[in-house]
Structure 1
Amino acid sequence: MLVYENSEINLTVYSLDKNRWNDLEELFGENGACGGCWCMSWRLKKSEFEKQKGELNKSAIKSLVEKNETLGVLAYLDGKPIGWCAVAPRDQYIRLENSRVFKRIDDEAVWSITCLYISKQYRRKGISTELIKAAVNYSKLNDAKIVEAYPSVPYDNKVPAAFLWTGIPSSFEEAGFVLAAKRSKWKQMMRYYIK
């Protein structure tokens, strides 16, 4: 399903489904985005995630895709998959639910953006903000009222991309998010309230 479009830069964003699995596989490559993650880090207990790195995580996410689970959105530039944003109801993320730093602010039902992955050649070009906007729209299409995010505050201008996989605050601010809580020097909780 098409969830977002920016015709100025020829960017389209679709929800991940069975028909787009090969595109996610192409985007993530042999390393499964980063170190065999396959975007399963937040969905599993840490010990389980570590045991599954690589092919087992790939099988786990593929199984979720085949079950039509809500997983996130894929960005395409000129028809080529270039970016991913994981977004789903917060209760689907086990590690997030058990986090002290990211414990729930309130009892509101929220959707969570937990990961952004962009092909190396397209990083630092504003694609993450576009993906975040697409994730908000996808959440809205699924009747969400609040979208939450957990960006990392960069400690340096040259922070490796692998350390910023939850995004950075400025990208979320550009997409309309506001600070909701800060329980750590390097991590924030931000929210977008859908009207």
Structure 2
Amino acid sequence: MPRRSSGSPPEKPDLINIRFVEVTRATRVDFEGFFEQPGAPKYCWCMAWRNLSSREHVDNDEKKRAMMALVEAGTPVGILAQADGKTVGWCSVAPRQTYRKLSRHQDDSETGIWSIVCLYVPRALRGGGLAGALLDAAIDHAFAKGAGTIEAYPVDKASPSYSFMGFRDMFLARGFRETGMAGSRRHVMRLER
């Protein structure tokens, strides 16, 4: 079999061999390495929906420092998908109170709600079911950690923005029900157990 050049896209992982791990101090290096790969979302470090002292003119290094401070403090931030010793996906799933306000209709007196705000799979690995497997793992993770309700904010496939929040159909297929809108594109959807 010919060897692939370093510029070749990676092979799509076998979903049976995927494992999902929580981002913690122990897995921080995997999280950092994944976000620092070419094409990864190191421009945001998944801080778009988290609290920052200032949202304007925050450089990538400051976003990374803020995310790493959350990890070091033991704050839940999300899960990683791993295959063959490599990190191949990310989902931001955490208690809703660890994010800034996600919808203008949000009732902050509600408790036990976890939010899914980002799903990231590298372009070369898309289309093989990894995003769906990552979403399933995020749901299992949130309920295992005590969530009573999981809230998500996906968009329709035709949306010109926010696709990193997932697509509405993925969530409908897993039993989420729509409860409203957050802005003009993001659907507020919930799953309860």
> Do these two structures clear the TM 0.5 threshold for a shared fold by scoring above it?
yes
Aligned to 2:62: 56
Per-residue displacement from partner, 1:75-101 (whole Å, max 9, x unpaired)? 0122210111111111111142xx32x
Q: Which amino acid aligns with 1:43?
A: R
For normalisation by structure 1, the TM-score amounts to 0.81
Give 1:94's aligned residue: 100
Relative to structure 1, is the Cα distance of residues 115 and 8 closer, same or farther in structure 2, using a 3 angstrom cutoff? closer
Give a deviation string over 1:142-174, Cα, whole Å, max 9, x none.
Answer: 111100000011226xx6xx7411111122223
Match of 1:22 in 2: 29
Worse overlay, 173-182 or 67-76: 173-182
Shift of 1:119: 1.5
1:120 Cα shift?
Answer: 1.6
Q: Which residue of structure 2 lines up, in the alignment, with residue 174 of structure 1?
A: 173
- Specify the alignment match of 2:154 in structure 1: 151
Aligned residues with identical type, % of pairs? 33
| Structure 1 CA distance for aligned equivalents of residues 39 and 54 of structure 2 | 16
- TM score, norm. by length of structure 2: 0.81
**SS in structure 2 opposite 1:50?**
coil
* Equivalent AA in structure 1 for residue 58 of structure 2: Q
Q: Hey, what does 2:20 align to over in structure 1? A: 13
State the AA in 2 paired with 1:189: V
Counterpart residue identity of residue 74, structure 1: L
Matched pairs, number: 180
1:106-164: CA deviations, max 9, x gaps?
835311011111112111222122111111111112111100000011226xx6xx741
Partners of 1:146 and 1:86 in 2: CA distance = 16
Listed as ranges, the gaps of 5+ residues in structure 2 are 1-13
Matching of residue 136 in structure 1 with residue 142 in structure 2? no
Relative to its length, the structure with more helix (as a share) is 1
Q: Does 1:72 align with 2:78?
A: yes
Q: Does 1:126 align with 2:129?
A: yes
Could you say which structure has the larger radius of gyration?
Answer: 2
